[in-house]
């Protein structure tokens, strides 16, 4: 499997993400934001976490206009798989590859901790190796992770089974840690080839460092 990871000024999770996919024996390339094409052999594009362009104006708003994003849009529109993690989620929203928007956390504080996630839908390439209602322990690190979508948009996400992950407690009961509508932590597009989540699976890949639940998530792409 060939994975292309995007890199912007301010990205800080590209090498963690590279390590995670290399641990799964993928071939990984890091693509600078000024490039205008994606390598032809790419099986998955990953937009990793960080603070692209310092989150100036709005998280992901400037990165959305980087030269590489047009290539990402074309790749996704042709059915290519794309995964956005944290800042990558924000960029995909700004680029209109996913519905909704991100706002500041409702408590206006940066959240940095492990938190449980519940799998809501596994009928997709990303989470296919997990079961519905599985509980995962994945780190969070965001200031603008408050996912918003209007009532009609939420109904559409639910109808199309586009909600992938929700925040929950140790027992699987949903919790709202940042203000996100319906406790949403991750979604996909209608065609199920563009995926995004705010938590960082690439930071949970070693049992020695708490758990490897993130690896269990990412390996779905290798099936």
Enzyme catalytic residues: 86, 200, 202
Question: Which residues on neighbouring strands pair with residue 111, listed in sequence order?
Answer: 142
In whole angstroms, what is the distance from residue 197 CA to residue 84 CA?
A: 7
Residue 10 in tokens: 């301010």
In whole angstroms, what is the distance from residue 120 CA to residue 163 CA?
A: 7
In whole angstroms, what is the distance from residue 81 CA to residue 75 CA?
A: 8
* 85 membership: H or E segment, kind and range: strand 81-85
**Alpha helical stretches, state H, the chain:** 14-23, 67-77, 87-94, 151-159, 213-218
């Amino acid at each position: 499997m060939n994975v292309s990871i995007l890199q912007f000024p301010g990205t800080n999770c590209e090498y963690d993400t590279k390590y995670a996919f290399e641990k799964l024996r993928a071939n990984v390339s890091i693509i600078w934001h000024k490039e205008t094409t994606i390598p032809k052999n790419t099986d998955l594009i990953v937009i990793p976490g960080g603070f692209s362009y310092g989150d100036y104006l709005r998280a992901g708003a400037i990165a959305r206009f980087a030269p590489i994003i047009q290539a990402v849009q074309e790749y996704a529109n042709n059915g290519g798989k794309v995964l956005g993690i944290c800042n990558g989620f924000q960029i995909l929203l700004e680029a209109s590859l996913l519905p909704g928007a991100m706002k500041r956390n409702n408590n206006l504080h940066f959240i940095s901790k492990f938190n449980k996630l519940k799998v809501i839908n596994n009928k997709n390439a990303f989470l296919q190796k997990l079961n519905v209602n599985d509980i995962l322990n994945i780190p969070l690190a965001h200031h603008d992770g408050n996912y918003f979508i209007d009532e009609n948009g939420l109904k559409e996400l639910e109808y199309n089974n586009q909600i992938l992950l929700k925040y929950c407690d140790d027992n699987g009961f949903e919790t709202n840690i940042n203000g996100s509508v319906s406790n949403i932590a991750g979604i996909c597009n209608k065609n199920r080839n563009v995926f995004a989540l705010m938590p960082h699976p690439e930071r949970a890949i070693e049992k020695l460092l708490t758990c490897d639940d993130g690896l269990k998530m990412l390996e779905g792409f290798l099936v």
